[in-house]
Structure 1
Amino acid sequence: MPIYNKINAGFALGTAEPVTSGIEDVIYIFNEDEIALTYDALNSLIVSGLTAVGSAKVYKFTGTNNSFNSTSKLTKTQVGPRYTEEIDFNIAGLSTSVKAQLMAMGYGRVRAITINNYKAGDSAIELFGAVNGLILTDAERNAADEGVEGGYKLKLTNPDKLKEPYPPRAVSIAPDSGSATYASTLAALEALVD
């Protein structure tokens, strides 16, 4: 019986472009059912298109001083590998509109796009929650926390028992003519931002 998947390449770390940890202080979040995903025909790990359903928007959250983080953890299950995806970020604000957004992320499912500090690979921009979406599992506010000035510390992760079947997908969107680049992908994301 053949193995379901087989490795097909090796890799080496380059000295010209050393690996850089962390993600930029920006996260793009959208409701799971409001932006349709198109996958690359040759590589299902690449999202090659994002299309708004109706007048849907992508919402941009910005932070400072490396206050955002993303994590992907492999878990072996009886049916194969699954990935737990998490994004931690902070919100400085206490308005009722902020609280309404927190409630929406807690009950509905969202997807999130992050930008890695390491730009040399083809996964500089990644999508989390591609298959099962993400929900807000932690929203902690300590009014005396000087680190976030009394704001919220948030965690988006997969719903219970719904881990992702793939690691975070690369997002690589080509312009109307030409090949996909980092700049063309960012431009496509920004075009969908509210």
Structure 2
Amino acid sequence: MYYEADAPSLPHNPFKAIVAPRPIGWISAMDRAGRVNLSPYSFFNAVGGEPDMVMFSSVGRKDAIAFAEEGGEFVCSLATFDLREAVNATSAPLPRGESEFGFAGLTPAPSRKVRPPRVAESPAAIECKWLQTVPLVPLDGSAPNNFLVIGQVVSLYVDDRYVKDGRVDTGAMRPILRGGSFDYFTAEPETRFELRRPKGGGG
């Protein structure tokens, strides 16, 4: 069966179930006044290397975008299975400037090269400098409702417990991944396998 993209006939949009599982960017950003916002985004991923770049996309211009633009920086802490309830709690629509860290019982830890803190309880974090925000204008030319934020990575934090033989053990950190409707998944070390690219293949 086909479903119309602008009016799917299912209770939950099948698009989000097909483009899945998606990594979650747990974004912290700070405005000029020093107020911090922490919120999860399932439209998140790495988008470049040499230099490394990441993006997150928001439906509507939320505080994470405004703070990232104003402060020029943001941090992506890894959302993990052990922190799933706290990750969910930080999606609550709190008044602007109220701390999601305090609301979710999380500890802000100083970052190395940017002002916004990382989540101390998270085993990994990516520190970024804001590069640009791209309004995603739809086909009909109407006002954009989605905004893509791109940042360049300037520093990485990884808990030493998850570095083995010179490699980061992603599965051991058990990152949570977003599916459709209310579904989430985890990456487990038992499901890991290696594939070597053919000679001449890209990175």
TM range, normalised to the smaller chain? 0.3 to 0.5
TM-score (normalised: structure 1): 0.37
